[in-house]
Structure 1
Amino acid sequence: MDLLHRTPTFLLRSDRQSRPMVNHTNHCEHHCCPRGRRDFPAARTTPAPACRTSVPPPPTRSESMRIPKIAIGAILTSATLVLAGCGSGSDTGGSSTAQGAGTIVVAMPLPLTSGNATTAQQILNAGELAVKEINAAGGAGGKQLEIKSYDDQLTADETAKVTQRAITVDGAQVFIGAYTTIEGLAIRQLTDPRKIVFMSPSTISPQLTDGSQFVFRTTHVQTDYPALFAAAAKNLGMKKVVVLHDDSPSGSTLWEATNTALTEAGVTAGTEVGYALNATDVSSAIAAVKAQDPDGIVLIGSSAADAGLDIKTMAEQGLDVPVLGLSSPVAPDAVRIGGDAYKQIKIYSIQNKQPDKPAYAEFAKKYAAEYGGTAEEAAGGLAEPAGATYDAFMLLKKALDVTGGDTDGDKLKAALVALPPYAGVAGKEGSTISWANGPNGFSNAMSTLEYDPESGLLITAP
């Protein structure tokens, strides 16, 4: 049986009829996709307008070898055009109409119809799980939380559109979400001027937080990774490593520091090879890696679909060497696309997650009870940002308890910064989250995990 059929169904499913205080705005009039399906459409056939004056009803539950890096200015320009077209607004800390109500709207833009759809769904599920617990215990700062989710399609343009809609139409007062820096930068361009707090459980590029007072990470920043890649490669016995990367903000900037770290660790660094984000053919890139005869690859990419295609193409070309990457090579969508290649090629992942950590195991147990499957499947199979999303909501609740439910950006920011170190779900055992010294919550909290093709789960690497 191939891995497409081995993927635990709980990773893909959420089939309850309704959940109080959760509103899924898929922003996808022609494709109201049931939540958790494998066959999300790649894009809708008719683009939604950037701004709307009414809220539609919610959907039914739903290569060259060196590619120049994505122009960050283009991402910001998309958001700026949306802001200019719809009016920048003067509200701070969310919609003034929602501020006085007993509900706090939390917007979650996610790539629900992209090559990362399953991971995006798990992020959303983790957020819903947290909100259910928070609301059942009396809310945050005396108010109930309500999630409104949006399909950003993993593009800057669509992310800017749904972010503007979330703020001006749906009254979002806090943002938690975005899978990649592409989305995160588009969100920040619209939230920062309004002093709306944006909490990121997934994006690692320092560009997301540079110069911002209102963006907070519940994951690592990318500068933590090169030394960890090098140490893991050395521990795994790799002698010559080629860095394979996409042209995302992280991929195009992280490869050079990784090569430096490999060299300093005594590992020979080959010539890096790049490919375009959301590629449909990586055969020339894999051939260029193979020509260097490495005994290991460091894969730096944002898209799970790309990572799965990379590994599948490696197997097709007979490049049978271990791969060490971020979370994307072991994300459910990557495994689905890579198929039997995951039985042939050893995959390792540096993650802000430890499956056997007691707090994570308890979270996995709750997740499995809510969405199906076993606690073991959840602990070893959930994508890395799921636990970090749960932590983000729990920290938001603590900060709102301090502000009395006030989402004013300055007050909420101050409350988040002043929180004591928090031992959450994400990170390795003994790690804590704190923003006292900056926007990056974690430091030195990652583990090296190995993908087990028999169980389809992650285990601690030897």
Structure 2
Amino acid sequence: MAHKHIKKSTQIIIAAVAVVFILMIWSAYYQQRAIEGGRQPAVNTAGPIQIGAIIPLSGDVAAVGMPIKKAAELALEEINKSGGINGRQLRLNIRDGRCDAREAVNAAETLITIDHVPIIFTGGCSSETLAVAPLAERSRVILFSPSATSPEITNAGEYVFRNAPSDASQGRLLAEAAFARGYQKVGVLQEQTDYAVGISIIFSARLKELGGSVQVETYRSDAVNVRDELANLKNVGIDALLFVVQSPAKADLILNQLHESEWHLPLLTNDVSLGASSFMDERYADTTEGLIAANLGVNEKNPLYQEFLKKYREAYGEEVTFPLYAALSYDAIYLLRDAILKNGLNPENIRAYLMSVKDRPGAGGTLTFDKNGDPVAGHVLKQIVNGKLVEAEVKPKS
């Protein structure tokens, strides 16, 4: 009798597990059909409010992703200490996107179909945001980034927003600065990522419009040597070099190998490069002196910016790296909080709120969205003079 009882109990357990498994499969299938059909998957209406997040937390680009994550969590902590949203805590459901399109899509599918998030926050890489954008559009989930700056994101979809300016302004600014300084033939050394290629395309198009020419060399993100690419550019005889990187580590690689080769020429670069340790190393002073960079414009006297920097130092015991991206991340969480507080969790209503944002003050500056969900803002020009990064003009003073 005992044997029969055990056998019957085992059968019941197996049957129960099978039922649960079938329900999970059915739920995932239903949610996927909802995405493919352009219907919004159900959003959780009880417990903490979850915002999905896909941030590069491993690899070279983690240098950008980590301060973005910390700034977002700082805002979350403040919001939750003050009562959350109508008494519900706000949580970030964070996945490591690794600055990889496939990883980002896999993470987004889980966040949408299993976790039922109304918003996905992407911080660090344009490739992650661009890969997830079609999925967000089909499922009508808000996709928001404080740092994805590829020009292609402008037309990525109606549910895609960012409070960081497009690299269209970065590429144009660098091209105009190069031409104004007499650099007619510019070599471009670009990393093979959506972000870096986007800047390169805009730069090249603008320089050609002005009457200049461009020679492009591309390197992979896992490259540990760019000597061949540098040699190719040197052989064609260029007036200046623009190097475009996805992470500070690659800027260090390029500057180191330029220094080793003793090839001295005018340099231009993108904003991410400015996080490279080489700029703080006196050994590279002869290589980096005079370098021109596009950078995110920030009013360092803005009280909200200074307050953010102070809070970050107190919370983490360190100075913030990539401070403007971090400030924009901090602002983004408060913006999304306000959108949910005013319009609820329906992504369509959140989108309506975001489209109405105009002259909103924040740590990263004043925010107004244009019709494409881009901020009405741009980049500024910086230059290394006597080892210090200072403001620069497109047309240098004579």
- The TM-score bracket by the shorter chain reads 0.7 to 0.9
**Distance in 1 separating the partners of 2:128 and 2:280:** 25
> Is structure 2 residue 361 aligned with structure 1 residue 423?
yes
- Segments of structure 2 that go 5 or more residues without pairing to the other structure are 1-20, 22-27, 394-398
> Shift of the alpha carbon at 1:114?
1.1
Name 2:277's counterpart in structure 1. Answer: 335
Q: Does the C-alpha gap of structure 1 residues 156 and 325 become closer, same or farther in structure 2, counting only changes over 3 Å?
A: same
Q: Is contact 1:329-1:335 (8 Å) kept?
A: no
Match of residue 244, structure 1, among 180, 189, 194: 189
Name 1:200's counterpart in structure 2. Answer: 145
After TM superposition, the structure 1 = structure 2 runs for residues 53-132 of structure 1, keeping only pairs within 5 Å, are 88-90=32-34, 95-96=42-43, 98=44, 100-132=45-77
Q: Does the C-alpha gap of structure 1 residues 85 and 357 become closer, same or farther in structure 2, counting only changes over 3 Å?
A: farther
Q: Is contact 2:54-2:95 (8 Å) kept?
A: yes
Partner of 1:302: helix, strand, or coil? coil
Q: Is contact 2:61-2:246 (8 Å) kept?
A: no
RMSD over aligned CA atoms reads: 3.1
**Distance in 2 separating the partners of 1:356 and 1:342:** 27
Q: Is contact 1:243-1:255 (8 Å) kept?
A: yes
Name 2:379's counterpart in structure 1. Answer: 446
After TM superposition, the structure 1 = structure 2 runs for residues 118-157 of structure 1, keeping only pairs within 5 Å, are 118-140=63-85, 143-157=88-102
> Shift of the alpha carbon at 1:231?
3.4
Q: Does the C-alpha gap of structure 1 residues 130 and 341 become closer, same or farther in structure 2, counting only changes over 3 Å?
A: farther
Name 2:328's counterpart in structure 1. Answer: 388
Q: Is contact 1:243-1:272 (8 Å) kept?
A: yes
Q: Greater CA deviation, 201-210 or 121-130?
A: 201-210
1:398 maps to a residue whose letter is D
Aligned residues: 361
After TM superposition, the structure 1 = structure 2 runs for residues 337-352 of structure 1, keeping only pairs within 5 Å, are 342-346=284-288, 347-352=291-296
**Distance in 2 separating the partners of 1:262 and 1:324:** 13
What is the TM-score with the length of structure 1 in the denominator?
0.69
Match of residue 409, structure 1, among 331, 339, 347: 347
1:151 maps to a residue whose letter is D
Name 2:107's counterpart in structure 1. Answer: 162
**Distance in 2 separating the partners of 1:446 and 1:255:** 15
Partner of 2:157: helix, strand, or coil? coil
> Is structure 2 residue 199 aligned with structure 1 residue 289?
no
Name 2:18's counterpart in structure 1. Answer: none
**What whole-Å deviation, never above 9, does each CA across 1:273-317 have from its counterpart, x for those lacking one?**
222233222111111223344453222232333232222221121
> Shift of the alpha carbon at 1:139?
2.5
Name 2:24's counterpart in structure 1. Answer: none
Q: Is contact 2:152-2:198 (8 Å) kept?
A: no
**Distance in 2 separating the partners of 1:340 and 1:282:** 22
1:161 maps to a residue whose letter is N
After TM superposition, the structure 1 = structure 2 runs for residues 309-388 of structure 1, keeping only pairs within 5 Å, are 309-331=253-275, 334-335=276-277, 342-346=284-288, 347-354=291-298, 356-358=300-302, 359-373=304-318, 377-378=319-320, 381-388=321-328
Match of residue 158, structure 2, among 193, 207, 213: 213
**Distance in 2 separating the partners of 1:207 and 1:260:** 15
Q: Greater CA deviation, 175-184 or 446-455?
A: 446-455
Match of residue 262, structure 1, among 180, 200, 207: 207
2:327 maps to a residue whose letter is G
1:391 maps to a residue whose letter is D
> Shift of the alpha carbon at 1:423?
2.6
> Shift of the alpha carbon at 1:318?
1.6
Q: Does the C-alpha gap of structure 1 residues 345 and 360 become closer, same or farther in structure 2, counting only changes over 3 Å?
A: farther
**Distance in 2 separating the partners of 1:279 and 1:461:** 32
**Distance in 1 separating the partners of 2:310 and 2:227:** 40
1:179 maps to a residue whose letter is G
Identity of aligned residues (%): 25
**What whole-Å deviation, never above 9, does each CA across 1:162-221 have from its counterpart, x for those lacking one?**
222223344433111242222112322332222111101112223334251111011112
> Is structure 2 residue 213 aligned with structure 1 residue 273?
no
**What whole-Å deviation, never above 9, does each CA across 1:37-78 have from its counterpart, x for those lacking one?**
xxxxxxxxxxxxxxxx9xxxxxxxxxxxxxxxxxxxxxxxxx
> Shift of the alpha carbon at 1:410?
0.8
Q: Does the C-alpha gap of structure 1 residues 354 and 419 become closer, same or farther in structure 2, counting only changes over 3 Å?
A: closer
> Shift of the alpha carbon at 1:422?
1.5
Give the number of the structure whose residues are more often helix, by fraction.
2
What is the TM-score with the length of structure 2 in the denominator?
0.79
> Shift of the alpha carbon at 1:103?
2.2
- Segments of structure 1 that go 5 or more residues without pairing to the other structure are 1-52, 54-83
> Is structure 2 residue 128 aligned with structure 1 residue 183?
yes
Q: Does the C-alpha gap of structure 1 residues 211 and 153 become closer, same or farther in structure 2, counting only changes over 3 Å?
A: closer
**Distance in 1 separating the partners of 2:248 and 2:225:** 14
Q: Is contact 2:57-2:66 (8 Å) kept?
A: yes
**Distance in 1 separating the partners of 2:221 and 2:170:** 20
Name 2:3's counterpart in structure 1. Answer: none
Q: Is contact 2:174-2:293 (8 Å) kept?
A: no
Q: Does the C-alpha gap of structure 1 residues 234 and 384 become closer, same or farther in structure 2, counting only changes over 3 Å?
A: farther
Q: Greater CA deviation, 147-156 or 123-132?
A: 147-156
Name 2:10's counterpart in structure 1. Answer: none
Q: Greater CA deviation, 410-419 or 239-248?
A: 239-248
> Shift of the alpha carbon at 1:388?
1.7
**Distance in 1 separating the partners of 2:279 and 2:323:** 16
**Distance in 1 separating the partners of 2:247 and 2:201:** 19
Q: Does the C-alpha gap of structure 1 residues 230 and 168 become closer, same or farther in structure 2, counting only changes over 3 Å?
A: same
